[in-house]
Amino acid sequence: MKKVVLTEKQIGLMFKNGKFVKIAGAGKYLISSSTIVEVRDIKEELVSVRCDIDTLLSKEGVEDMVDVVDVKSNEICLRFVNDIFVEAVNEGRHAFFKACGENTFMIFEKTYKVAEDFPKYLFSKLPSDMYKRFSVAPDLKGVLYVNGVVEKVLDPGEYYFWDTEDVITMNVCDMRIIPMDIQGQEILTADKVEVRVNLVIDYRVEDPVKVYSTVANVNTYLHRTAQLAIREIVGKQKLDEILENKDEITNYVYSQMKEKCHEAAIELIDAGVKDIILPGSVREIMNTVLIAEKKAQANVITRREEVASTRSLLNTAKLMEENPTLYKLKELEYVERICENVGNINIGGTGDILESLTKIIGREAS
C-alpha cells in the first residue's frame, strides 16, 4: 500500500489494473500497488495519458464535474473563467472542471474574417500564430488581397485576420502628394553635346487598386516615363536651344508624363527640369564667351559715356563763348576749387582782385 495526498486545488484520476475507476477529490488515499493516480490541477483541462476524454466522461458522475465543449476543425474557441480570458482551445472535445470557476466559451467560424463582435483586446493574449495583424497609418490606404485577388481597400486603422489556409496579404499605398527627384539623365543633344538633366516631379495616387494592378513599381514607372520624355525633346535640340527654351522642355515633359500617369491611375501634380549640367570643357568655353560679351558691353558703355561727356563739354564751351558772364562764373568756380587747396595768398597793389588772383594762380600753375 502507498499513500496519496490531494490538495483542494487538485484532483486524482484513479486507474486500477489499467482501467479508469473514478475521480478523487482532496484528501488522503491508501492505494494498492495495482492502482495508479494521475494528479491534475483543477484549473487545467481534464485529460489523461492512459485513456481518451470519452472514456473519462463515460464514468458516472464525471460529466457533472466538468464543462464540456466540442470544437470543430473550422472553428476557433476561446475559454473564459469567471469572464476572464484564459486560453484558446484547439479542435476536438475538451472538458474543464467546474471547481475552477464558471467556464464560458466563445466559438467563431474559422475563416480569415474576424467577426465584428470579436473583442480586439484579446488578440494581445492569443498566440501570435493564430492571427495576422495589419496596420494602415494615417494618409495611407491598404489594398487587401485574399489568395491573390483584391478583397477591398482598407482605411487607416488596425486590422486582424485569422491565420487560415487562405493567403492574406496587403499592399500599403501613400495617398499624399509625393515629391520625386530623377537625377543625372545623360542625353546627347542634336549638336552632339552630352548633357545631364535633373528632373523633379510631384505626384499622387488616385486609385490604389488600379495602380497595383497596372504598375509593378510606381517609382520605376515614373522614372522611365520621365526619362523617355526628356530624351525625346532634348535629343532633337541643339545646346543653345536647350538653354534658351528650358520652360518649353518643362512643359513638354509635363504633358507627356501626365498622359502616361493617367493611364496608371496616378495624378501628376507637377513635373519639370531642375538642372541642366554641362561637361567641364563646354562650361569653360561658355564662361569665356560670357566674359568676352560682358567686356564688349562694358566697352560700349564706356564709349557712350565718353561721347556724352565730350558733347556736354562742347555745349558748355559754346554757351560760355556766347555769354561772357557765364564764362566769368565758370572761372570763379574753378578759382574756388583751387583756393580750397591753397593755404595763404598775398595780393599787393590796386586793381581788379579777381584779375590779380587769376594771374597769380596762372603763374603758380606755370
**CATH code of residue 211:** 3.30.479.30
Question: How many C-beta atoms surround the C-beta of residue 181 within 10 A?
Answer: 10
| Domain limits for position 349 | 288-365
* pLDDT of res. 50: 92
**CA dihedral defined by 218, 221, 224, 225, rounded to 10 degrees?**
-110
74 vs 192: CA distance, rounded Å: 71
Residue type, 308: A
* 283, part of any domain: no
89 vs 130: CA distance, rounded Å: 11
264 vs 258: CA distance, rounded Å: 10
Same domain? For 135 and 38 the reply is no
- Among 46-60, 102-116, 306-320, 335-349, which stretch is predicted with the lowest mean pLDDT? 335-349
Indicate the residue among 174, 198, 214 that finishes a domain.
174
Tally of domains in the chain: 4
Q: pTM of the entire structure?
A: 0.63
Same domain? For 152 and 189 the reply is no
Indicate the residue among 257, 278, 299 that finishes a domain.
278
Whether 10 and 26 have beta carbons less than 8 Å apart is answered as yes
Same domain? For 54 and 140 the reply is no
Segment holding 327, helix H or strand E: helix 324-339
Indicate the residue among 248, 278, 308 that finishes a domain.
278
* 185, part of any domain: yes
- In the predicted model, is pLDDT for residue 206 greater than 80? yes
Residue 5: phi and psi, rounded to 5, are: -115, 125
Same domain? For 187 and 253 the reply is yes
Residue 187: phi and psi, rounded to 5, are: -135, 145
- Among 14-23, 126-135, 234-243, 342-351, which stretch is predicted with the lowest mean pLDDT? 342-351
* pLDDT of res. 13: 93
* 115, part of any domain: no
Same domain? For 213 and 251 the reply is yes
pLDDT digits (tens, 9 = 90+) for 91-135: 999 999 999 999 999 998 888 988 887 888 899 999 888 899 999
* 118, part of any domain: no
- In the predicted model, is pLDDT for residue 350 greater than 80? no
- In the predicted model, is pLDDT for residue 365 greater than 50? no
What is the pLDDT averaged over residues 161-175? 92
